Structure 1
Amino acid sequence: MLSRLLRGLLVLVVLGVLAGGATFWFAKNALIEPLAVPVDGLRMDVEEGSNLSRVVRRLANEDVVRHPRLVLAYARLKKLGHIHPGEYMIPAGSNAMDLVARLNRGDVTRYRVTIVEGWTFAQALALVRGSKKIKTTEDTATVVAAAKALGIEGNPEGQIFPDTYIYRSGATDLDLLRQAHQRMNNVLAEEWEKRASDLPYDSAYEALIMASIVEKETGVPWERDEIAGVFVRRLNKGMRLQTDPTVIYGMGENYAGNLRRADLREATPYNTYVIQGMPPTPIALPGREAIHAALHPKAGKSLYFVAKGDGSHQFSETLSEHNRAVRQYQLKRRSDYRSSPADTQQN
């Protein structure tokens, strides 16, 4: 009798072990089998405030996940239940464990937008608002509105840093502009702290204005500090800057691609052929190199420069030397050419 009972118990144990092994085998294979994902991957959005249960059950309803309860049990066992919002790309061949790990890590799809040195604030704003997966807001509907949202009084020109920014789907245009504005504040503060002595700037903002002019005038990178040196010496001597990019900026939409002599005589706050000193605001978005050049101008005696036609410039110490350079590099090709700064008598 006892032996029969022992044999019965042994059979039950064996059956239990086999059942447990079968269950384990099933669970393991269910977790590692590929999800029903298209060959080019599955793109999905996880909204703010969503949880793993909601996401998994949604995917189950779409026949992507076959065993949602098993997936959720696995996530609880491994303590991977916390997920991050955003846009995800689930590659073909992924399994349930890959999905849970990806959601837990927050491996969201990231996008990038590049704001270019020398662009205007308006150009950068249009780019950001038109970028893929960016959420636009009324706060940035216009340049004036964007300036107010960023806490900038007046013209915000020059006050966002040109760089490549990485963002997630659903990021707002204002989020990205705030990041670029803070980046400019940080870079300018760092460079201002290390500035050379005896510069004609009363504030870091004035250095930013000069940097924007240097950015627009520079054709080849190695000339930035030399161009800055020309403008700094002109300021120190009380000469007008006489630089075309400031005139063009002041003309706004009236600029049709050509500067006429009448434009150079038109009195605007940005016409450096008319005003003394620098314009009231930057005229573009300067990069760090231009800011550094404005704060570390190259020593020398040159007061003029003219484009050679290959992106570089010929620098001259005197007006007569400059006029000869203009004739050499420009007047033979264009009878209406005017160099920058202009070949006009300085005050």
Structure 2
Amino acid sequence: MARRRRSKLPLIAVALVVVGVFGWIAGGWVATGPLEQQIEFDVGKGEGLSALADDLEAQGAIGSATLFKLRAKLLGSGTEVKEGSFLIPKGASESTILEILKGDKVIRRLIAIPEGMPSIMVAERLLANKDLTGPVSAPGEGTVLPDSYDWQKGEPRAAVLKRMQAAMDKALAELWAKRSPRTVAKTPQEALILASIVEKETGKPEERGMVAGLYSNRVRKGMLLQADPTIIYPITKGKPLGRRIRQSEIQAVNGYNTYTMVGLPKGPITNPGRDSIAAVLNPAETEALFMVADGTGGHVFADTLEQHNANVAKWFALRKARGDL
């Protein structure tokens, strides 16, 4: 009796179904996605693909969180994503989305602290950023290094401030180690104090060394520094005064007014930048003891009072001609 041959049709059918399903899965992995416009997508610390898939579906970036997770496991080269914010373009495929979330193209958000910004305004800038969280108080004056700092959505303001202060500690240590014998600063704190005055006294970067040299000379000779910004600081905590200084304020006795005290103020009057600190630690070699504004944001320097008085007369004549007086 002849043995009946087993039909191969069911096996072929199963194979075709498997191929079809895999093709459907693979096709969905690289197909154009449903996202109608570019979005910013945030990945929090420790968030996994499972929770992110639900968010992606909710924001219309993928059609199905379940299928996305299945395809990622079968076809994705790893599912470890990075913390941060990412831009997902219109129509991005599921494959592209996963590669974006695994990559290094994190959106850089920067908060800028300009040179000479006092600490009260640093705190205000942090508080004005609605994407940061938590409270923050004005840090100690001179403890923040002016620079641009990365931050992430939802990050505590105190954490961002901590990075700013750590940057100042690092910069001050590096610059202090390279100080010149000409510096009058006996400690890093004294360097910060004098640098804060230099920062406030000139609007021209190329003058920093000269201004530092002038004030260094005054410190050595035991002269009054007579720096106008030290009058203003106790009044506004470093913010612009918005008017002329009053005679009573010039004569005020406090820990900052260098018109009524010899030596350095009791603390910095702003957050000095790296260049101002470097200028104080390596001041220009000069005999200058006096300076007056030249009308361009810079100063005219003088070694003697006679020279200085002549420069002041020229400055007053210029201001009168401009209608400032």
TM-score, normalised by the number of residues in structure 1:
0.84
Q: Which aligned pairs between 1:89-238 and structure 2 lie closer than 5 A? A: 89-105=87-103, 107-137=105-135, 140=136, 142-143=137-138, 147=139, 156-238=140-222
Q: Give per-residue Cα distances to partners, 1:282-305, cap 9 Å, x unaligned.
A: 101111110100101000111111
Instruction: Give 5+ residue unaligned stretches, structure 1.
Output: 148-155, 338-347
The residue that corresponds to 1:152 in the other structure is: none
The residue that corresponds to 2:293 in the other structure is: 307
The residue that corresponds to 1:294 in the other structure is: 280
| Kept after mapping to 1: 8 A contact 2:191/2:280 | yes
CA distance in 2, matches of 1:174, 1:206: 26
The residue that corresponds to 1:243 in the other structure is: 227
Pairing 1:279–2:301 present: no
| Kept after mapping to 2: 8 A contact 1:86/1:170 | no
Change (3 A) 1:195 1:63: closer
Structure 2 counterpart of 1:271, one-letter code = N
CA distance in 1, matches of 2:228, 2:84: 46
The residue that corresponds to 1:344 in the other structure is: none
Structure 1 counterpart of 2:270, one-letter code = A
The residue that corresponds to 2:243 in the other structure is: 257
Helix, strand or coil for the counterpart of 1:333? helix
Q: 1:22 offset after TM fit, Å?
A: 2.1
Change (3 A) 1:21 1:309: same
The residue that corresponds to 1:19 in the other structure is: 17
Structure 2 counterpart of 1:112, one-letter code = L
Q: 1:13 offset after TM fit, Å?
A: 4.8
Structure 2 counterpart of 1:288, one-letter code = R
Helix, strand or coil for the counterpart of 1:36? coil
Helix, strand or coil for the counterpart of 1:5? coil
The residue that corresponds to 2:5 in the other structure is: 5
Q: 1:86 offset after TM fit, Å?
A: 4.2
Q: Give per-residue Cα distances to partners, 1:253-295, cap 9 Å, x unaligned.
A: 7945211222211112111011010101110111111010010
| Kept after mapping to 2: 8 A contact 1:110/1:169 | no
| Kept after mapping to 1: 8 A contact 2:141/2:268 | yes
| Kept after mapping to 2: 8 A contact 1:160/1:181 | yes
Change (3 A) 1:89 1:132: farther
Change (3 A) 1:276 1:3: farther
Structure 1 counterpart of 2:56, one-letter code = L
Q: 1:133 offset after TM fit, Å?
A: 1.2
Pairing 1:31–2:29 present: yes
| Kept after mapping to 2: 8 A contact 1:225/1:294 | yes
CA distance in 2, matches of 1:316, 1:46: 59
CA distance in 2, matches of 1:220, 1:236: 25
Change (3 A) 1:62 1:284: closer
Pairing 1:317–2:303 present: yes
CA distance in 2, matches of 1:211, 1:3: 101
Structure 1 counterpart of 2:295, one-letter code = G
Helix, strand or coil for the counterpart of 2:150? strand
CA distance in 2, matches of 1:113, 1:207: 26
Change (3 A) 1:12 1:47: same
Q: 1:250 offset after TM fit, Å?
A: 2.2
| Kept after mapping to 1: 8 A contact 2:202/2:208 | yes
Pairing 1:55–2:52 present: yes
Helix, strand or coil for the counterpart of 2:179? coil
RMSD: 2.5
Q: 1:110 offset after TM fit, Å?
A: 3.2
Change (3 A) 1:189 1:58: closer
CA distance in 2, matches of 1:47, 1:28: 28
Q: Give per-residue Cα distances to partners, 1:94-113, cap 9 Å, x unaligned.
A: 11112222233475433111
The residue that corresponds to 1:73 in the other structure is: 70
TM-score, normalised by the number of residues in structure 2:
0.89
Q: 1:311 offset after TM fit, Å?
A: 1.5
| Kept after mapping to 1: 8 A contact 2:111/2:148 | yes
